[in-house]
Chains A and B, each alone.
Chain A
Amino acid sequence: MSSSFTQISLVLKKELVTSLRDRSSWATMLMFALVTLSAVSLALRGAIPSPTISAALLWVILFFSSMAGVGNIFTSESASGTLLALRIYGSASAVLFGKFFYTLILLIVMSLFTVPLFIIFIGISVSETLIFIISIVLGVWGIASAGTLTAAIMMATDGKGGGLFSILMLPVILPVFLPAIALTAFSFGGDAASVKYLGAMLIYDLLITVAASMLFDFLWYEESGE
């Protein structure tokens, strides 16, 4: 077996190339973000909501836009038959982390597209830029790791639980979601939120990434007879 880093890079590169040639996951996610942003903006008719409502709206848009792009990262392989080839030739850690980094890149691009548009459409100003950026990065990392793990669990159900993806994701992501909303609200000039939330988000992100690695190992090899 080649080094883990090389294998992860191969899976990441494969994900990027195939998704950019297909473009459906990128287009679905970005269109979802654009449509929800437009709907929120039109509904508000120029009124600027409170920092807490604005923060909640932003994270709802980010969360559900992510679901549109992340949900099928394993089931699409299963449906096309390539999952079998991956299981024969690849290792669990390479597949998991390759797909995790791909998801992270996908969500970072989606955030770079969505967040500036949200600020423009809603007309809200960011007073704590650094905290805002860090909370977006940590929140997106949490969605990427929890999303990759949940998508892998969906793979183990042979795609029969596809509709449950968002429902399963919510309890896993709440410990990141709630502090992210509080910190974003603070960045928008709302009530003060403890900067310790950033540390808590970082620890939770690390935990969920390690847990995903351990659980995925079980999912990948349990099915293969170990």
Chain B
Amino acid sequence: MKLSFESVGMRFGAKELIKDFTHTFEPSTITAITGANGSGKSTLLRLAAHLTMPTSGRVTITSDNKPLTRGAYIGAVAMTTPEMALYTRLTARENLSFFVGLRGKSLSDNDIKKLFDKVGLPIDALSKRIDTFSTGMRQRLKVAMMIAAAAPVWLLDEPTLGLDEKGRKMVMREAWEASAGGAIVLWATNDKKESEAADDVIELHAD
């Protein structure tokens, strides 16, 4: 499976944020997307998730050189971004089961316990509503959703925002694990440690 940007341009009004961007992201590779604020890191990830339509060019995921259909594309991508919110009136377990369920996966109690252990959430948080969660706990739950979705394309937009040192290490460990399992990982960050740990770095420049 490959994620390809072909001559992709993205314009917001008069401002051309991304210009003629061509790149193929390979499996088992972590690519850090770096650049100053406003350089288009998040936009690049939104384009990869098909959440935003490019002004020109196209973004495709191919499997055996054939582009994925719309439904398959959505199923192939998992993403975490600071703008993405969870349902505050649902518990952690309900949120996890709902979003992962939309991907056709059901989680047993044991699966959920293992996931919580992986992302460093206490088991008693399972039955707590998200409106009682701290920013870091919400971020950990979003990472748990990504792990459970088991998608071949991981799009991480500032995934360590609001996390403590342990949390940062956990996200890095999980991204490496996903990459070792064949996933394509795109990681938008401005953290030097995180970009140095990646296999490849793409630096975007704000005009």
Contacts and interface: CB of A to CB of B under 8 A. Distances in A.
B79 A91 contact: no
Interface residues of A, number: 29
B170 interface: no
Contacts of A222: 53
B87 A10 contact: no
Contact of B104 (A6, A22, A84): A6
Contact of B102 (A18, A81, A94): A94
A192 interface: no
A81 B71 contact: no
Interface in A45-90: 80-82, 84-85, 87-90
A222 B53 CA distance: 7
Most buried by A among B54, B88, B101: B101
A86 to B, nearest CB: 8
B94 interface: yes
A88 B87 CA distance: 14
B143 to A, nearest CB: 13
Contacts of B103: 1-2, 89
A85 B94 contact: no
A113 interface: no
A89 B149 contact: yes
B51 A84 contact: yes
B89 interface: yes
Most buried by B among A14, A80, A84, A89: A89
Given A88-B78, A225-B54, A82 B89 contact: no
What is the interface of chain A mostly: helix, strand, loop, or mixed?
Answer: helix
A224 B77 contact: no
B75 interface: yes
Given A224-B52, A225-B53, A84 B87 contact: no
Contact of A7 (B85, B86, B90, B102): B102
Given A1-B75, A6-B101, A17-B94, A88 B89 contact: no
A203 to B, nearest CB: 30
B102 A90 contact: yes
A18 B90 contact: yes
A91 B69 CA distance: 13
Given A81-B85, A88-B84, A91-B74, A10 B98 contact: yes
A224 B50 contact: yes
B49 interface: yes
Interface of A: 1-3, 6-7, 10-11, 14, 17-18, 21-22, 80-82, 84-85, 87-91, 94, 221-226
28 contacts: A1-B74, A1-B75, A1-B103, A2-B101, A2-B102, A2-B103, A2-B104, A3-B104, A7-B102, A14-B90, A14-B98, A17-B89, A17-B90, A18-B89, A21-B89, A80-B88, A84-B81, A84-B83, A84-B85, A85-B84, A85-B85, A88-B77, A88-B79, A88-B84, A94-B102, A223-B51, A223-B52, A224-B51
Interface of B: 47, 49-54, 59, 70-72, 74-75, 77-79, 81, 83-90, 94, 98-105, 145, 149
